[in-house]
Amino acid sequence: MAPGPGFLDWWMNGLMLWLKPAARVRWCPPQPRVWLRANAEGWTGWVGTGAPATSVVALRELLSRHPDLPRWLLLDGGNAVRATLQLPLAAIDHLRQTARYDIDRQTPYSENDVAYDARVTDLDVAGKRISAELLAVPKTRLDPLLERVGQDLGVALHGVDIADAEGRPLGVNLLEQRAPLHRPWRWINLALLAVVAIALSLTMWRSVVNARVRADNLDASVKQQTDRARAITLQRQRLDDLVGGAKKVQTEQSRHADLDAIVNALAERLPATVYVERMSLQDGQLQLSGQGASAATALSYLQANPLWETPSLSGGGMNGASYGRERFSVAMRLKSKGAR
C-alpha cells in the first residue's frame, strides 16, 4: 500500500513494512481503488475483482459509482527501469528519499528525468539490512499518459503503480503531486464520532452520578440503621435499669416485710427482762446481741419458731456492768419462704 498523507497513514505503512508480503496481503489488504490502465483501444478500468469497464461511457459510470475511491494508474512493467538496492535497516522509514541517491548510479537517467519510488523486498532484522527495489519511469513516457487520462476521462490521479508479471500492482506510487482524496462522508463521520464521544461522556458522567447517589443512599441507610441500633441499645439499657430497680425495690420490700415479721416474733417471744441491743440480718443469718438474766434463758425463748431455725450462742455469756444482767449473742439461720 502506498503511503498516504497524514501521520496515521505513515505510521500504518511503517508497521506493514515489517510484515511479509503474504501476511501483509492477508492481514492488511489494500484500500479499494479505481484502477485505470491504458491499452491500444483506449482505457480499461475496474475496482477490486469486479468486471473491467472498457468503454469511455462505462468508465465514467464506474467513476461516478465510486466517487470516494482513489484513482490509480497502473503501468505495464516494461515501462519501468528496476534496480535492486542493499540498504541499512535505518533507511526503511525514509526509503524513497534514500533511493533517490542511487538513481544516477543504477539507471541511465537523472533524478529530474524520471518518476520513481522504492519498495522493500526482503527484511533481515538480525543483520539490520533490507533489500529494496528501485522503480523509475522516464517522464517522457509517463507525462503523456497523465495528460491523456485527464483529457479522456477528466480524472485527477492519486497514484501511479507498476504491474508485476501477473498484472498485480507492486505497491509503489510514482506520482509526486497527488490529488486530494474526495471523502464526502468525512464530515458525517466526524459528526457521528463527536456524537458518540458526547454520548459516551454523558453515559460515563451519568454512571458517576448514579454511583454517587447509590453511595449517598447507602451512607444514609447505614446512618439510619446505626441510629436505630443506638436507640434500641439505649432502650434496652433503660429496661435493664428498670428491671434492676424493680428487683431491688421488691427485695427491699421483702426484706422490710421479713424484718417486720421478725421484730414482731421477737417481741412476742422475749420477755420484758430480755433486752435486744443490736440486730443484724445478712445472707440469711440473723444476729442478736443484748442483755438478759441468763444467756441460756434467752436462747430458750428463741427455740421452735417458723421464721428461723438452729439458734445458737455465738459466744459465751458475759456478765453485764450492772443489775446482775448477762450479755449474750445469738446466731440463727432464717428459713426460706417455701419452708415456712
In the block, which residue shows the cell 446466731? Answer: 331
Contact 298, 316 (CB under 8 A): no
Tell me the β-bridge partners of 312.
331
Render pLDDT for 261-273 as a digit per residue (tens, 0 to 9). Answer: 888 888 888 888 8
Render pLDDT for 61-98 as a digit per residue (tens, 0 to 9). Answer: 998 888 888 899 999 998 999 999 999 998 988 899 99
Domain 7-184, classified CATH 3.20.20, yes or no: no
Contact 77, 94 (CB under 8 A): no
Inter-CA distances, 324 with 271, 277, 299, 319, Å: 17, 17, 18, 7
pLDDT in the model for residue 2 = 40
Tell me the β-bridge partners of 71.
34
Render pLDDT for 298-322 as a digit per residue (tens, 0 to 9). Answer: 788 888 778 888 888 876 556 555 5
Render pLDDT for 206-256 as a digit per residue (tens, 0 to 9). Answer: 999 999 999 999 999 999 999 999 999 999 999 998 998 888 877 766 655
d(CA 159, CA 176): 8
* Structural domain spans, the chain: 7-184, 197-269, 271-339
**What does residue 243 show for φ and ψ, rounded to 5 degrees?**
-65, -45
Contact 1, 13 (CB under 8 A): yes
Give the global pTM: 0.50
d(CA 74, CA 155): 14
